[in-house]
Amino acid sequence: MSFDWNEYYQLSRELAGLATGVSTQEAKMRSAISRAYYAAFCKARDYLLQTYPEEVLPQGSDIHYYVPRRFESSSDKMRRDIGEHLRILRTYRNRADYDGVVRDLATTTQQALRRASSALQQLSKLK
């Protein structure tokens, strides 16, 4: 059965402290995937902005392609790993945010959390 998109609204009310009920686990897992992606993506984007202030990053959705590619094109393995994590996390996030049915949602959620954690740890080690 397809995801009831109203569940995102219920979750938003819960997160804002306004809920009268409890969100479904599916809504929570989908949101966890999305937030994990944005945590890693924004940290990586900010790293690029701080490390290369002269570099002009693309605007709009193009930045979601640019940041992972920028890391993946590095000669440094850790940077390439970060780029791979970001690229895969974006795939997970797109599925969670747009697909009515996400197969193996619990597994995907755990994988997204592991990848985001790894990317964030690696980013914190970069100079």
Q: Which residues contact 27 (CB under 8 A, 6 or more apart)?
A: 3, 7, 8, 10, 11
Question: Does residue 8 surpass a pLDDT of 80?
Answer: yes
For the record, the structure tokens of 35 come out as 């937030």
Query: Would you state the pLDDT for residue 19?
Result: 76
Q: C-alpha 71: how far from its chain's center?
A: 15
* Domain ranges for the chain: 24-125
Mean pLDDT value across residues 24-31? 95
Query: Would you state the pLDDT for residue 59?
Result: 94
DSSP annotation of 24: -
pTM of the model: 0.92
Tell me the per-residue pLDDT of 53-83, one tens digit each, with 9 for 90 and over: 999 999 999 999 999 999 999 999 999 999 9
